[in-house]
């Protein structure tokens, strides 16, 4: 029983330290890129995607998403964030005829990567996924 309390106390201390670290240095920042993979009634396909996260002077973050080969993109509106997971509503501002709009996006940080999962609006089925890596800055 004493070991159980010791292990629980250690886990609580580690989770508190991780929570404090994520508050001091947000994990959802910078630019990310990867290859999306889609399986739904239209068949299977892959496409590149880029996510750019910027912070305004007021401290507010914006999340811009682009699917260049599909000709669509827009923004993600943050719904909630907890620990290493965040949920967004995707709002396309171009290419709505080529891509589904208003879907639910779930992002989870695992190590140094982001896992992207997409559901169409009103559906519980995951129709697209990707592993995103931090985009290296390119010198001009």
What string of pLDDT tens digits covers the 140 residues of the chain?
Answer: 444 344 344 444 444 444 444 445 678 899 999 999 998 766 678 999 999 999 989 989 999 999 999 999 999 999 999 999 999 999 999 999 999 999 999 999 999 999 999 999 999 999 999 999 998 765 54
Domains of the chain: 26-134 (2.40.128.20)
Expressed in angstroms, the distance from the first to the final Cα of the chain is 61
Question: Residues 6 or more apart from 49 whose CB is under 8 A from it?
Answer: 33, 34, 35, 36, 65, 66, 67, 116, 130, 132
If one counts every other C-beta atom within 10 angstroms of the C-beta of residue 20, the result is: 10
What is the spatial distance between Cα 121 and Cα 115, in angstroms, rounded to a whole number? 19
Tokens 């404090």: give the residue: 20
Q: How many CA atoms lie within 13 A of 18 on its CB side?
A: 10
Instruction: Provide the whole-model pTM.
Output: 0.76
């Amino acid at each position: 029983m004493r070991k159980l309390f010791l292990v629980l106390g250690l886990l609580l201390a580690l989770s508190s330290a991780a929570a404090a670290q994520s508050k001091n240095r947000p994990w959802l920042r910078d630019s990310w890129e990867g290859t999306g993979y889609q399986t739904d009634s239209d068949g299977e396909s892959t496409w590149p995607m880029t996510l750019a996260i910027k912070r305004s002077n007021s401290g507010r973050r914006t999340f811009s998403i682009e699917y260049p080969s599909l000709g669509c993109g827009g923004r993600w509106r943050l719904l909630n964030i907890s620990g290493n997971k965040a949920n967004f509503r995707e709002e396309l501002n171009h290419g709505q005829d080529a891509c589904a709009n208003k879907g639910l996006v779930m992002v989870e940080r695992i190590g140094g990567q982001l896992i992207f999962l997409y559901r169409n609006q009103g559906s519980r089925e995951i129709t697209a996924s990707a592993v995103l890596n931090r985009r290296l800055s390119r010198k001009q």
